Every structure is written in C-alpha cells, then in structure tokens.
Structure 1
Amino acid sequence: MLKEVTATRYVTPLREGGSLPGIVEADDLGTYVMKFTGAGQGRKTLVAEVICGRLGQRLGLRVPELAVIALDPVIGLSEPDQEVQELLKASGGLNLAMDFLPGSLGFDPLAYEVDPAEAGRVVWFDALINNVDRSWRNPNMLVWHGDLWLIDHGATMIWHHNWKGAQASAAKPYDASDHALARFRPDVAAAAAALAPLVTEDVLTAVAAEVPDEWLAGEPGFETPDAVRRAYVEALLARAGSIHERITLNAPSTPRTPQPPGWLTGNGKPWPHPARTQTTAKGDEQ
C-alpha cells in the first residue's frame, strides 16, 4: 500500500501544471510534489497517477515514489495567493504526493540521448495506459542523476471518463508519432516481449488496490470502489497483450523546432522562492 504522510507546510506552487500542483513538506521530513483532489481535473487524475505510476514501477520504469498525503485546509489560511488558498481549502483530506527530485532537469532530446531499448519500454508503457501527455510539446520526463524518470500520469486511461465506452476506447490504437521519444527509434517489439508478460491480473489488482476508497466512491455505474478497481484491471489486462501491434510511429503531426533547454541558454525560469519573493515585495514598497 502507499505510504501515508501528513502535509505540514505548503512551500510554493508549480505553475507549469494545469492542475496547479505544489511543493509541500510532510511530517516524515520529506519534500513532495502534491496534487490536489480540489483541482479542476478532479480525483480521477489522482487515480490515474496511482495506477499508472505504481504499474510503471512494477515494470521496472523509473517513476518517483508516490504517497497518500493528508491535508488540513487550515494550511491555506496563510497563503497569500487567492487561487492557491482556494485550492488548499477545497482539498481537505487525502491527496497525492510524489517524491520531489531535487536538482532534476526537464527532459530535452538535444541534451539527453535515450537508447532504443529504453525508448521502446516507455513508448510501450504509454501505449498501454493510453498516455496522451508525453509528446515532444510536453515530455513529462525528468533527468535526475543521469537517469530518465517518468512523471505526470494524470492524462492517461481516457476511457475512465466514460466507462460505458471503456471497452471500445481501450481497444483503440496508439499513435506515438508525436511521442517525446519517437526520434530515438524505440524498440517496441522488444519492450512488448519483456513487459507484456509482467502485466498480469494479480499485478493489476494489487496496483488498483492502492487507490484510496474515497477517490473511487460514488462513481456512476458502480456499486462499490472494488467494482471500479475491477474495471481498471479488465481494461488494462485486455490492452496489454496486443497493444504493441497497434502502435503507429509516423512523422510528427507538426514540424518540430527543438529548442535547447533553459539551463543551457540561461532562459530557465526557477521556481519562486517564498522568502525571496517577500523580500523583493518589501523592497518594492520602499
């Protein structure tokens, strides 16, 4: 089961994400990237993060450790940003935390080479979970200590937004033409041979069991959280055996103009530091 921690301090928002995740400190002295149940995408984003993140780890892919994090809305009372304050107040209870990787860099193909075997494993995994958010536009990968790490799996398993059409949706092919790793000649066949046998009913059942009941309760068309979990298991299990046959890798839909990463050009935008921001604000007043 996922480790459970309690948020003790909200540090700063990460405005790169549409769901406005934030960096928080917890009672285990760890620092996490926190995603909120009160965000616009709702709790299904967190469900997808748990199922896909934990499945990726079981397949040997590098995904930061996940935890369930309890949030007391009182933390938001001292937050000066009205948008963040409202998000914190709306997210009382259990939320999702991902281990913060200090010093990590956003993946850029001009600065980091990926071998075909690793690229194939990532593309196959994304095809399995129908990840529509690992494109060259938004790679959702980090480089940390020289290794490639996968993050942000909230925009996966599109079928769980319409369970009535889940079977048909899960049977659809996966277009990897715009995938962030398409240029590295991903060996999808080798990845399927190695990874598909690992995606068993027992593994998927164990992964789905890690989703908190309160994120699944009240799902239309299901009587219990376990019934929802079973639906995830069936959809992924049906997809695992043959999805490699339905992956397409054509020319990208839009011409790409690669840009060097910000840390090479000096155009990087660091996360705001609360103390420095406050100091600057006081200086401006003077």
Structure 2
Amino acid sequence: MLEEVVATRYVTPLREGGSLPGIVEADDLGTYVMKFTGAGQGRKTLVAEVICGQLGRRLGLRVPELVRIELDPVIGLAEPDQEVQELLRASGGLNLGMDFLPGSLGFDPLAYQVDPREAGRVVWFDALINNVDRSWRNPNMLVWHGDLWLIDHGATMIWHHNWPGAKASAATPYNASDHALAPFGPDIASAAAELAPLVTRDLLAEAAADVPEAWLADEPGFDSTDALREAYVDALLARAGTIHERIIMDAPTADGPSRAPGWISERLAPRHDDRTSEEGARP
C-alpha cells in the first residue's frame, strides 16, 4: 500500500497541467506534486496514475515515488486564486502525491540523448498501458541528475472509461509514430524480451492493490472493488505478451516542429556522458 502523509502547506499551483496540480509540503517533511480528486478529469485519472506508476516502478523504470496525501481544505484559505480555492475545497480527504524532483528540467530531445535500449523500454511500457500522452507535443518526461524520469500517467488505459469494450480496446495496436522517443531508434524487441516476462498476474495485482478503495467504489458493472482490480489486471496481462508485435512507428505527423522526432541527428543531440553533471526535473 502507498505510504500516507498529511498535507501541511499548499505551496503553489503548477499551471502546465490541465488538472491544475499543485506543490505541497507534508508532515513527513517531503515535498510533493499533488493531484486532486476534485479535478475535472475525475478519480479514474488518479487510478491510472497509481496502477501505471507503480507498475513502471516495479519494472525498473524511473517513476517518482507515489504517496497518498490527506488534505484538509483549510490549508488553502489564504490562496488568492479562486480556481485553486475551489479545487482544494472539492478535494478534501485522500489525494495523490508524486515526489517532487527539485531543480528538474523538462525533457528536450535536442538536448538529451537516449540510448535505444532505454528508449525501447519506455516505448514498450507506454504501449502496454496505452499511454496517449508521451508525444513530442507533451513528452511528460523529466531529466533529473542526468537520468530520464517518467511522469503523468493519467491518460493511460483508456479502456477503463468504457469497461464493456475493454477486451477489444486492450487488443488494439499502439501507434508510437509521434512518441517523444521515436527518433532514438527504440529497441522494442529487446524491451519485450526483458520486460514482458516480468508482467505476471501477481505483479499486476500488487500495482492494482495500491489504489485506494474509495477511488474504485461504485464502478458500474462491478459487484466489488476486488472485481474491478481484477479487471485491470486482466486487461494489462492480455496486452503484455504480444503488444510489441503491434507497435506502429511510421513517419511523425505533418504538424510536427522542424526538429521533431524523425529529424534528430547525432550532430544535434549531445552524448549522455557529456551531461552527467546536469541536474534537473520539474514535475
């Protein structure tokens, strides 16, 4: 189960995200990027964050630690922004926190070189969870202490928005043509050989078990939260063994920037070893 902390101070909103996450301090003296149950995207976004984030961590990918954060809306009374105040009032109780990576940098494919093995692992993982939000338009990756970190998994497992069609949706291909790591020659076959055997029913059940009970309650079509957790496990398990055969990687779409994926050269992208002193990441 995720560690539970109590928010003690609301620091500032992060306006880059549509759900208006915020930086908070907690009673464990940690600083977190907090995602709110009262945000317009709803609790399924947080469910996806937990299952996919915890799965990624169990597969050895760099995903910031997740915690459950108890929020008393009173801590936002001094916040001058009316939108933030309304969000805090709507989010009393249990919310989700992601470890804040201080001094971080957003991933830039022209400034950070990714080797084919790491690129393949990330693309394969995104194909497994059907992540539609790791494109060059919005990479949702950070560079911290010279390493690549994965964030924001709320736009994944789109089948859980329509459970009757989940089986068919889980069988669909994954188009990685616009993926932020497409230009780095991701080694998909190697990633599948390494990671797919690790995705067992027990491993997926562990990730699903980390979702708070309240976020799964009253889902139409399910008699219990245990049955719903099992549905997440079934969908991901069915996808894990063969998704590498259904990853599409064609030319990037025509609206890409002049140096978007597909046009990066070694001349433009520095070697990873040249940036070992670089620190960074901003959730």
TM-score relative to the length of structure 1: 0.90
Q: Report if aligned partners of 1:205, 1:229 keep a CA contact under 8 Å in 2.
A: yes
Deviations 1:209-251 (A, max 9, x none): 0000000001111111111100000000000000000001100
Number of the residue aligned with 1:38:
38
Distance 1:203 1:96 in 2: 21
- What secondary structure sits across from 2:77 in the alignment? helix
Q: Report if aligned partners of 1:51, 1:208 keep a CA contact under 8 Å in 2.
A: yes
Deviation of residue 256 (structure 1)? 2.6
Deviation of residue 253 (structure 1)? 1.3
Distance 2:8 2:192 in 1: 42
Gaps of 5+ in 1: 261-270, 272-286
Q: Does 2:152 correspond to 1:152?
A: yes
Gaps of 5+ in 2: 261-267, 269-281
Distance 1:29 1:225 in 2: 32
Number of the residue aligned with 1:139:
139
Number of the residue aligned with 1:217:
217
Number of the residue aligned with 1:115:
115
Number of the residue aligned with 2:164:
164
Number of the residue aligned with 1:201:
201
Deviations 1:80-114 (A, max 9, x none): 10000000000011000000000110000110000
Q: Report if aligned partners of 1:71, 1:93 keep a CA contact under 8 Å in 2.
A: yes
Number of the residue aligned with 1:284:
none
Farther-moved stretch of structure 1 (125-134 vs 223-232): 223-232
Q: How do residues 48-67 of structure 1 correspond to structure 2 at under 5 angstroms?
A: 48-67=48-67
Distance 2:196 2:85 in 1: 43
Q: Report if aligned partners of 1:76, 1:86 keep a CA contact under 8 Å in 2.
A: no
- 1:237 maps to amino acid: L
Instruction: Name segments (4+ residues, structure 1) moved above 2 Å.
Output: 254-260
Distance 2:100 2:226 in 1: 30
Number of the residue aligned with 2:273:
none
Distance 1:230 1:78 in 2: 42
Distance 2:140 2:129 in 1: 15
Number of the residue aligned with 2:124:
124
Q: How do residues 217-236 of structure 1 correspond to structure 2 at under 5 angstroms?
A: 217-236=217-236
Deviation of residue 77 (structure 1)? 1.7
- 2:56 maps to amino acid: G
Name the structure, 1 or 2, with higher relative contact order (CA <8 Å, separation 6+). Answer: 2
Q: Does 2:27 correspond to 1:23?
A: no
Q: Report if aligned partners of 1:134, 1:180 keep a CA contact under 8 Å in 2.
A: yes
**By percentage of residues, which structure has more helix?**
1
- What secondary structure sits across from 2:119 in the alignment? helix
- What secondary structure sits across from 2:190 in the alignment? helix
Deviations 1:121-165 (A, max 9, x none): 000000000000000000000000000000000000000000010
Number of the residue aligned with 1:84:
84
Deviations 1:15-40 (A, max 9, x none): 00000000000000000000000000
Deviations 1:64-87 (A, max 9, x none): 000000001111222110000000
RMSD of aligned Cα (Å): 1.2
Distance 1:73 1:14 in 2: 18
- What secondary structure sits across from 1:78 in the alignment? coil
- What secondary structure sits across from 1:110 in the alignment? coil
Distance 1:141 1:258 in 2: 18
- 1:31 maps to amino acid: T
Distance 1:153 1:186 in 2: 20
* Matched pairs, number: 261
Farther-moved stretch of structure 1 (202-211 vs 71-80): 71-80
Distance 1:257 1:13 in 2: 32
Distance 2:92 2:214 in 1: 12
Deviations 1:27-54 (A, max 9, x none): 0000000000000000000000000000
Q: How do residues 65-76 of structure 1 correspond to structure 2 at under 5 angstroms?
A: 65-76=65-76
Number of the residue aligned with 1:283:
none
Q: Report if aligned partners of 1:49, 1:152 keep a CA contact under 8 Å in 2.
A: yes
